């Protein structure tokens, strides 16, 4: 079997430019049952919004939001852009598509979904209804209980045909005490092989037992494989606090992944293919912030790779990080 060195301190808490207090409050859980919805028309060349319903958005369920207004032209196509801002600017996501086609979008951090219902084209001039659905998690981070959604749409001539702003705010909100920060120091790193009897590679060890905060880190794991590697795919699944992410790419190609909220990057170094059966180096670089919320200091990361088919299992390695002896301060 060949050695598989897996460089994976993919600490998803790579909190590169951390607005510390804002991010910590983002991770405090808000126990709100409903969000109040207010709206304003932000001016479109060919339309005016006159109402948005409902005025309350329940958490934990799918809710249809319908805007009513008037349009002074037939709409036969065009594009839209839905922008979500929350967490004091830490989340600023755009969701785009074709006006006439329904489309679903996943919100960052597994917080829910936005579903554009699509316009029935051609939409005739006159009174019109524009709809989309929102599904938010039953428990939201405190700062996300207040957020803004701006919906812009252009017609088939690239002229503005819709502009409406929605503001979501908690009606009843209980917020947990902000959590501790981990400032400087290191995170302990442990690992185990997660392959089964059909996996060609066995992980033997990694070259680091800790990850330094505030520094670029490359972790290399070593193991053995009983077949040559000429190609295939890798998957990195990581869970830390509220963050659950999956990153995928080609085993033989280097690839950089941006973490949610601009928190940093994971850098898959790629294998030198073809890799003969025997010892193999697999390296991943990670940028960790010098300051992270305590809940993100504990994380589980699984790295797996397959060959030409999903049944051709090359390797599987689980990593676990935990807070080492570091300073803690209340935010």
The pLDDT of residue 117 is above 80 = yes
Q: What is the mean pLDDT of residues 138-148?
A: 73
Q: What is the mean pLDDT of residues 135-148?
A: 75
The verdict on pTM exceeding 0.85 is no
Q: Residue 19's pLDDT is what?
A: 39
State whether 212 and 292 are in the same domain: yes
CA distance 249 to 202: 21
Query: 257 lies in which domain range?
Result: 4-21+180-330
Final residue before a domain boundary, out of 122, 145, 170: 170
Q: CATH code at 123?
A: 2.60.40.770
Residue 175 located in a structural domain: no
Final residue before a domain boundary, out of 106, 137, 170: 170
State whether 158 and 202 are in the same domain: no
CA distance 68 to 74: 16
State whether 190 and 162 are in the same domain: no
Confidence of residue 30 (pLDDT cuts 50, 70, 90): very low
State whether 297 and 217 are in the same domain: yes
Confidence of residue 299 (pLDDT cuts 50, 70, 90): confident
Q: What is the mean pLDDT of residues 133-148?
A: 77
> 168-177, 202-211, 266-275: lowest mean pLDDT where?
168-177
Residue 126 located in a structural domain: yes
Q: What is the mean pLDDT of residues 48-55?
A: 94
Contact assessment for residue 173 and residue 190, using Cβ atoms and an 8 Å cutoff: no
Final residue before a domain boundary, out of 139, 170, 201: 170
Residue 159 located in a structural domain: yes
User: What are the distances in angstroms from CA 293 to CA 76, 186, 239, 327, 328?
Assistant: 48, 13, 14, 12, 10
**CA geometry: angle at 246 spanning 244 and 251, to 5°?**
155
Residue 245 located in a structural domain: yes
Of 307, 308, 285, 304, whose CA–CA distance to 14 is shortest? 285
Average pLDDT of the chain to the nearest whole number: 79
State whether 129 and 194 are in the same domain: no
The pLDDT of residue 164 is above 50 = yes
Residue 228 located in a structural domain: yes
User: What are the distances in angstroms from CA 3 to CA 16, 222, 228, 315?
Assistant: 32, 5, 11, 10
Q: Which residues pair with 285 in a beta bridge?
A: 218, 267
State whether 225 and 163 are in the same domain: no
State whether 165 and 274 are in the same domain: no
User: What are the distances in angstroms from CA 2 to CA 37, 85, 190, 235?
Assistant: 58, 48, 21, 20
Spatial neighbors of 309 by CB under 8 A, at least 6 apart, are none
For residue 256, count other CB atoms closer than 10 A to its CB.
12
Confidence of residue 327 (pLDDT cuts 50, 70, 90): very low
State whether 209 and 245 are in the same domain: yes
Of 199, 198, 217, 119, whose CA–CA distance to 161 is shortest? 119
Residue 160 located in a structural domain: yes
State whether 201 and 326 are in the same domain: yes
The pLDDT of residue 5 is above 70 = no
Give the range with max mean pLDDT: 160-164, 184-188, 206-210, 214-218.
160-164
State whether 222 and 293 are in the same domain: yes
Residue 196 located in a structural domain: yes
State whether 235 and 139 are in the same domain: no
Q: Residue 150's pLDDT is what?
A: 93
State whether 185 and 303 are in the same domain: yes
> 1-10, 133-142, 181-190, 310-319: lowest mean pLDDT where?
1-10
> 44-48, 147-151, 167-171, 301-305: lowest mean pLDDT where?
167-171
- Structural domains of the chain, count: 2
157 or 92, which is more confident: 157
Contact assessment for residue 162 and residue 41, using Cβ atoms and an 8 Å cutoff: no
Confidence of residue 294 (pLDDT cuts 50, 70, 90): low
Residue 67 located in a structural domain: yes
**Which tens digits make up the pLDDT trace of 212-238?**
877 788 888 898 899 998 999 999 887
């Amino acid at each position: 079997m060949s050695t598989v060195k897996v460089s994976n301190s993919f600490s998803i808490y790579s909190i590169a430019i951390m607005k510390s207090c804002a991010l910590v409050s983002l991770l405090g859980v808000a126990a709100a049952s409903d969000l109040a919805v207010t709206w304003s028309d932000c001016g479109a060349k060919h339309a005016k919004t006159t109402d948005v319903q409902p005025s309350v958005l329940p958490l934990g369920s799918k809710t249809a939001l319908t805007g009513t207004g008037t349009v002074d032209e037939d709409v036969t196509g065009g594009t839209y852009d839905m922008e979500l801002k929350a967490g004091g600017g830490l989340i600023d996501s755009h969701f785009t598509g074709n006006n006439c086609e329904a489309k679903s979008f996943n919100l960052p951090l597994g917080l829910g979904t936005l579903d554009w219902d699509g316009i029935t084209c051609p939409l005739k001039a006159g009174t019109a209804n524009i709809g989309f659905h929102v599904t938010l998690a039953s428990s939201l981070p405190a700062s996300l209980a207040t957020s803004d959604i701006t919906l812009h749409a252009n017609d088939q001539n690239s002229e503005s045909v819709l502009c409406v702003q929605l503001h979501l705010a908690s009606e009843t909100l209980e917020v947990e005490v902000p959590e501790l920060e981990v400032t400087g120091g290191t995170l302990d790193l442990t690992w185990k092989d997660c392959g089964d009897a059909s996996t060609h590679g066995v992980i033997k060890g990694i070259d680091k037992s800790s990850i330094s905060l505030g520094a670029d880190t490359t972790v290399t794991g070593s193991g053995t494989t009983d077949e040559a590697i000429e190609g295939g795919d890798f998957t990195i699944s990581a869970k830390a606090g509220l963050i659950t992410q999956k990153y995928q790419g080609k085993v033989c190609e280097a690839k950089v992944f941006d973490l949610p909220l601009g928190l940093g990057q994971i850098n898959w170094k790629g294998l030198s293919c073809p890799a003969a059966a025997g010892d193999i180096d697999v390296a991943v670089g990670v940028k960790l912030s010098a300051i992270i919320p305590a809940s993100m200091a504990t994380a589980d990361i699984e790295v797996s790779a397959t060959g030409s088919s999903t049944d051709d299992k090359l390797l599987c390695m689980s990593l676990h990080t935990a807070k080492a002896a570091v300073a803690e301060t209340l935010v």
